[in-house]
Each structure stands twice: as structure tokens, then as C-alpha cells.
């Protein structure tokens, strides 16, 4: 994430906290801690990185390809995002998250690019693209009975869909050149454990944060995942509010599939500006 964005987020967070302290009413609690449902809908403004390798069948691992550096894919873009939650029972919580991102570009290659068993030649015009989708579901239990605080732990699933393609001039086995197109995709669930914390500063202001973590060899994935968020929310009306969060998603795993053996390293980090709806 760009330093200026980090600084802006910190300044806004401090201003919101200062305003909230001045308006604090100890008899009131923010709806995030009292209502049965909440829905956050907004725009995620992430800086993103994508690095992939695709191992060839001839042996040896291909080098990691930095899509931002090699192909000048946009490193920041806004994307639609949703967070939702359901408080059921006295202390149980079910929450979800969704966002997806894609991009494409054309670029003259500065060097040969090895992609599996194919070599895309230096100096040729290449078309490239990537896609990413995340769906998160998480179930947890509140461990704190305080009116103003909520702390809980739980477990969940991240459903990931990742894809990329390269098209351009390739070197054939006989030393000739031809047009080529190669693509890879993977999708599947990644389990995780996590924790969250909410603090009602007043009836109008709330702070909240969470962290999800995975680090193991599960099925076709071997590596680690972290998904964190921290932010502030202001209740404008009884069932409506606005909020600003900082999201950071990182994935670094080896993939073992029949059509893709390699590694994916990706990061989405930035601000999430959203409208909130909460109700009983």
C-alpha cells in the first residue's frame, strides 16, 4: 500500500476517534455489538501484486513472474466488495466477505518469459491478464460478555479462484516461432482459523478488527494465507452508517494440479470505504 494512503488512513482514524470520544455516551452501544444482522457494501481500493510460476513437464521449476513488473499490469484499482454478519444464539457469529479483481494489458517483452514448457520471446508484443476472486465464510464464538467490547475466535473457509494468461510469439521445439496462448486457473477452499475484536466507543462510533490465518498443506495448496482488517464505523441513523477499513490479504502457496503445478504469490492491501446497514 502506498505510504500516503497509510498516512491518510491513520489521520482519519485518529480524527474519528477524537470526535467519538467527545460524543461518547456510556449508556449507548453501537449496533455492530447489539443487532442481529449487518451488511457492509462499498469499494475496496487495493494496491495489488501478482507473482506466478508454472512448472514445466521437462523438469525444474520456472522462475516466479512478477506480472506488475514484467507486463505493467495496473498495481491499484477499485473493486466492489461486501462484508456481512449474522449473530445467532447468544454468542455465535457467522460472517462473510466477497471481492474480486481482474486486469489485462499488452506489453513488449523486455526478456524471454518461460511459462511451463513454452518460451515467449523478448521483443514481441504479449497480451496478459489475471483474475482473482475471494469468498470468505467464518463461524465463531464471542468470548467476552461486556456491553462495550466483543472478542471472539473461530474457524472458516476462504474459497479462492485465481487465473492468468499470456499470449504472444513463442519459440517452438524446432527453433521456429509461432503464435501461442497459455493460461492457468485454480480454485478451491482454504480453511483458516481467526479472531475478531469490536469496541463500541459510543452509540454512534465503533472500532473493529479481525485476523484470519492459514499455514499448512491442505489438498492442492501448500503455503500460507493471512487476511486482516481494522477500521472505524459511524452510525448515521438507526439502521444506516458509513465506515472506513484497512484490508490486507496475502497468499503464498504452491499449487499442485494436473494443469498447473507452480506457485502463486499475491497481495491485496488498501482502504475499504463502505455503507453499513444493521438491523435486529
Name the CA radius of gyration of the chain, rounded. Answer: 22
Q: What angle do CA 236, 238, 240 make, to 5 degrees?
A: 50
User: Which CATH number describes the domain made up of 3-279?
Assistant: 2.40.128.90
110 HSE (CA, 13 A, CB side): 7
Task: Report the pLDDT value the prediction gives residue 2, as an integer from 0 to 100.
Answer: 44
Q: How confident is the model at residue 176 (pLDDT cuts 50, 70, 90)?
A: confident
Q: Which range is most confident: 10-14, 121-125, 251-255?
A: 251-255
pLDDT greater at residue 9 or residue 86:
86
Q: Per residue in 192-239, pLDDT tens?
A: 999 999 999 999 999 999 999 999 887 888 999 999 999 999 999 989
Domain ranges of the chain: 3-279
| pTM metric for this prediction | 0.84
Amino acid at each position: 500500500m502506498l505510504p500516503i494512503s497509510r498516512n491518510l488512513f491513520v489521520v482519519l482514524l485518529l480524527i474519528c476517534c477524537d470526535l467519538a470520544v467527545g460524543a461518547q455516551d456510556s449508556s449507548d452501544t453501537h449496533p455492530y455489538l447489539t443487532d442481529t444482522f449487518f451488511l457492509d457494501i462499498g469499494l475496496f481500493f487495493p494496491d495489488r501484486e501478482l507473482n506466478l510460476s508454472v512448472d514445466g513437464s521437462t523438469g525444474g521449476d520456472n522462475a516466479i513472474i512478477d506480472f506488475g513488473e514484467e507486463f505493467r499490469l495496473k498495481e491499484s484499482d477499485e473493486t466492489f466488495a461486501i462484508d456481512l454478519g449474522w449473530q445467532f444464539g447468544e454468542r455465535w457469529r457467522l460472517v462473510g466477505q466477497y471481492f474480486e479483481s481482474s486486469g489485462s494489458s499488452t506489453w513488449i517483452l523486455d526478456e524471454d518469459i518461460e511459462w511451463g514448457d513454452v518460451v515467449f520471446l523478448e521483443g514481441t508484443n504479449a497480451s496478459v491478464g489475471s483474475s482473482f476472486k475471494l469468498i470468505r465464510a467464518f463461524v465463531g464464538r464471542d468470548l467476552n460478555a461486556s456491553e462495550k467490547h466483543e472478542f471472539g475466535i473461530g474457524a472458516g473457509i476462504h474459497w479462492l479462484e485465481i487465473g492468468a494468461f499470456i499470449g504472444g510469439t513463442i519459440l517452438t521445439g524446432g527453433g521456429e516461432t509461432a503464435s501461442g496462448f497459455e493460461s492457468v486457473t485454480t480454485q478451491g477452499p482454504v480453511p483458516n482459523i481467526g479472531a475478531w475484536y469490536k469496541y463500541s466507543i459510543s452509540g454512534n462510533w465503533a472500532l473493529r478488527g479481525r485476523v484470519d490465518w492459514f499455514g499448512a498443506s491442505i489438498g492442492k495448496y501448500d503455503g500460507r494465507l493471512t487476511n486482516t482488517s481494522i477500521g472505524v464505523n459511524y452510525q448515521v441513523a438507526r439502521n444506516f452508517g458509513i465506515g472506513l477499513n484497512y484490508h490486507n490479504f496475502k497468499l503464498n502457496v504452491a499449487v499442485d494440479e494436473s494443469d498447473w503445478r507452480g506457485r502463486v504469490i499475491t497481495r491485496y492491501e488498501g482502504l475499504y470505504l463502505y455503507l453499513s446497514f444493521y438491523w435486529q
